[in-house]
Amino acid sequence: MASPQAAALSGYIARLRPLKLQTQTETERMNHTPEDNMSKSKRRRTEDKVKNDDEDAKDAAAAISSGVTASAIAASYNDQIRPLLDAVDRLRHLKVTQEGIQLPTIVVVGDQSSGKSSVLESLAGISLPRGQGICTRVPLVMRLQDDPSADSPKLQLEYSNGRVVATSEAMVADAINAATAEIAGGGKGISDAPITLVVRKRGVPDLTLVDLPGITRVPVQGQPEDIYDQIAKIIREYIAPKESIILNVLSATVDFPTCESIRMSQQVDRTGERTLAVVTKVDKAPEGLLEKVTMDDVHIGLGYVCVRNRVGEETYDQARVEEARLFKNHPLLSKIDRSMVGIPVLAQRLMQIQASIIAKCLPDIVKQINERLVRSSSELDQMPPDLNNTGDAVRAFFHIVKKVCSSLEKILVRGEFDGYPDDCYFHGTARVVEMLNRCAKKLPRECPRRADELFLTEEMNVLEETTGINLPNFLPRSAFHVMLKKKLEMVGQVPQDLVNEVWDYVEDLVMKILLQHSENFPQVQSSCRRAIQSLMEKTRARSAQHVKELIEMELVADYTANPDYMNTWTAIMEGQKKFMESVEDMFKPTKITLQGFGEVDVSHLRTHADLAAQAFDLRAQLTAYWKSIVLRLVDGLALHVLRGVKRLVENDLEEELADELLCNNMAGVERMLSPQPSTGTKRDRLKKSIVLLQQSKEVVANIMDRISAADEL
């Protein structure tokens, strides 16, 4: 659905069509006035059939007068379309294209010596630089403005960052040459820096066109070897945007498909919907021209206009008279449809196309300006503040630290991740819990032992080695401690691996968050990185000590208040009688199923029946107690990690960063007073961009207000 702005522009353009059609009618009449007037004059004098030079002069005067009438009618149309054109020209003058916003532009291209400059001269009624080789060495933006009240033409050149030079019709060619030499040098080189020529003159069409250097493949003396590549690059930059209309000037003396300008046009406009062709030098090669422009072998979507340019010392008015006579009387050229011939027709077509492309593009230009202004303003707001002294730097530093700690508290303590909803890596509490769960699974639920170990063999060996002088029915406490130490050594690396994994993750997360919040001060990031690495080393050391103490505490005393210990031990011991019967009775099966142990083989125990009962009891105690050990380790590790994270976020991180950057007479934060050159450059660029976009927004707002006011009338 079209936007309100697009609808308003379309309505505005639609209201101009009656004027446009009327103007076109007058233009056609002007095209054929010379001969029509001459015919009327001849009919008035049919009796004597006399034709003389005086009558031809009168006919020419009538043609010129008719052209002025057409111009007067066109003035009403031009007055309406000119605000749109002026708005676009103002945006072009502001260089809004530097912000990536393309403007609707009529771009004139053609091979060298195709008659490109002559066409522009005919449209503007002024003389442009002439000479051998490339006449146009820089892009020439021609702004033609019809001024019916002007007693004399007013011309000025604009170039080189706002330089304005007034000139005249007689001196304009020299002025353009001087400006070109200043920009591109005095030789034959080219430049992509444009010159703008403003022509305010009675009777010219309201048009803005960009004339580009003519395409040449072979450099002449004084030209760079890559002259073709340089010209082609400039042309592509201008004709590539979809907002550009390509005015392709072709000489009737060549085959159109062989023209380099046609090839370039087709590269960016394959369907030809943006291309209008102007055929020059028609009087030199009239044969087959009708077939060329009607068969359209090169796909010119906007059609052809054939023209005759000024010859010799002809005035521009005389040239139009001769042009009209040529297309009326020539046996071949007269067959070409009148809507396809003449400079007046070309001017009218260009004004129609220009109005259409502006109406189509302007709403999108308004949208792009607003979007880029919002984006640039937001980007500037996110830039670091200007720091003028150490106090400013300290405040900026603690502002960064505060934001870092706040983000980490959300991620690692409160489990909030609104700033990173789609990046699971930053869902801190969930990732830490995953690590704790993996650790719990790595700790065996049952008391660990070797897979190839025979039932109770280890316990019996320990009992033999811990036998002392004591009552035979008492289980040696030292035997339990020896067994417990062996089992803890088998799993001691698991909690150590957990804390290493957690702190590796936390360090990486802290580093990412800190670098993100300090991106505007890269000069202090190395110090911040060093502080974080130092802090995490201390944190890892504390955790390693904590894990060591957890293991040591388990060896200090075999104690638990967990009632599950006695319940489990009692349930296992209920199978001791069954177990001893199988050991002592040689006729019973050697494999039995016991609660807590599953199926076991007791055949190897029958020769050690005296220790079997104690070994069974020792295994039962370890099995029951192991559950309490695993629970204490997992819970203790979880609480230690959570406390460590909270301590780091709420206290340690800020202290470590402050110690690193505020020590040595605040040497760290003082580096913040020396911003990176790229930061200053970026800030200046954004400020200039915002000023330009604000001015551009004002330009388009004014024209949209004018259109809205016209809608209300």
Pairwise CA distance, residues 191 & 418, whole Å: 52
Angstrom distance (rounded) from CA 293 to CA 277: 9
Q: How far apart are CA 670 and CA 656, in angstroms?
A: 17
Question: How high is the pLDDT of residue 636?
Answer: 93
Phi, psi dihedral angles at 277 (to 5 degrees): -105, 135
The C-alpha angle with vertex 234 and arms to 162 and 355, in degrees rounded to 5, equals 70
Q: Are 205 and 74 in contact (CB under 8 A)?
A: yes
Give the residue among 689, 564, 549, 521 at the shortest CA–CA distance from 633.
Answer: 549
Q: Which domains does the chain have, with CATH numbers?
A: 4-375+697-712 (3.40.50.300), 390-674 (1.20.120.1240)
Q: Is the pLDDT of residue 558 over 60?
A: yes
Higher pLDDT, 669 or 333: 333
Helices 493-517, 525-556: axis angle to 10 degrees equals 160
Average per-residue pLDDT for the chain: 84
**Global pTM value:** 0.60
Where residue 37 falls among pLDDT bands split at 50, 70, 90?
very low
The DSSP code for 414 is: I
φ/ψ region of 588 (left if φ > 0, alpha if ψ in -120 to 50, else beta) reads beta
The least confident of 139-148, 204-213, 304-313, 663-672 is 663-672
pLDDT confidence of residue 128: 85
Minimum mean pLDDT range among 18-27, 351-360, 465-474: 18-27
Is 24's pLDDT higher than 70? Answer: no
Length of the chain: 713
- Poorest-pLDDT segment among 259-273, 530-544, 666-680: 666-680
What pLDDT is recorded for position 54? 46
Chain CA centroid to CA 29, Å: 52
Percent residues over pLDDT 70 in the chain: 86
- Structure-model confidence comparison of residues 218 and 57, the more confident one: 218
| pLDDT tens profile 684-699 | 888 999 999 999 888 8
What is the pLDDT, as a whole number, of residue 79? 60
Query: 279 near 305, Cβ under 8 Å?
Result: yes
Which of 707, 713, 476 is closest to 4 using CA atoms? 707
pLDDT given for residue 100 in this prediction: 86
pLDDT band at 59 (very low <50, low <70, confident <90, very high): very low
With bands split at pLDDT 50, 70 and 90, how would you rate the model's confidence at 224? confident
> How confident is residue 423, by pLDDT bands cut at 50, 70 and 90?
very high
Q: Residue 13: pLDDT band by 50, 70, 90 thresholds?
A: low
Q: Which of the four pLDDT bands, split at 50, 70 and 90, describes residue 33? A: very low
With 90 as the cut, is the pLDDT of residue 630 above it? yes
CB neighbour list of residue 501: distance below 8 Å, 6 or more residues apart: 435
Burial class (CB in 10 A: 0-12, 13-18, 19+), 386: exposed
Higher pLDDT, 4 or 653: 653
Q: What confidence tens digit (pLDDT) does each residue in 67-105 have?
A: 443 444 344 455 667 778 888 888 888 888 888 888 898
β-strand 140-146 against 195-201: which pairing, if any? parallel
The pLDDT value recorded for residue 549 is 94
pLDDT of residue 65: 42
What whole-number distance in Å separates Cα of residue 156 and Cα of residue 168?
8
Range scoring the smallest mean pLDDT among 55-64, 391-400, 481-490, 529-538? 55-64
Residue 230, C-beta contacts closer than 8 angstroms, at least 6 positions apart: 190, 224
Count Cβ atoms below 10 Å from residue 528 Cβ, excluding itself.
25
3-state secondary structure 221-237: CCCCCCHHHHHHHHHHH
Nearest CA-CA partner of 386 in 90, 673, 57, 42: 673
State residue 238's pLDDT score. 93
| pLDDT tens digit sequence for 311-332 | 888 888 899 999 999 999 999 9
**At which residue do the structure tokens 């002439």 appear?**
130
pLDDT of residue 682: 83
Q: Is the dihedral of CA 412, 418, 424, 430 positive or negative?
A: positive
Q: Is 281 exposed, middle or buried (0-12, 13-18, 19+ CB in 10 A)?
A: buried
SS (H, E, C) 513-552: HHHHHCCCCHHHHHHHHHHHHHHHHHHHHHHHHHHHHHHH
φ, ψ for residue 447, nearest 5 deg: -60, 125
Is it the case that residue 63 has pLDDT exceeding 60?
Answer: no
Backbone angles phi, psi at 124, to 5 degrees: -90, -20
* Closest C-alpha to 310, from 276, 273, 270, 283: 283
Cα(390)–Cα(397) distance, integer angstroms: 10
What pLDDT was estimated at residue 700?
A: 84
The answer on pLDDT for 411 being more than 50 is yes
Taking only the tens place, the pLDDT of each residue in 568-623 is: 999 999 999 999 999 999 999 999 999 989 999 999 999 888 899 999 999 999 99
What's the average model confidence in pLDDT over 9-22? 54
Dump pLDDT digits (tens) for 505-518: 999 999 999 999 98
Percent of the chain at pLDDT > 90 equals 50
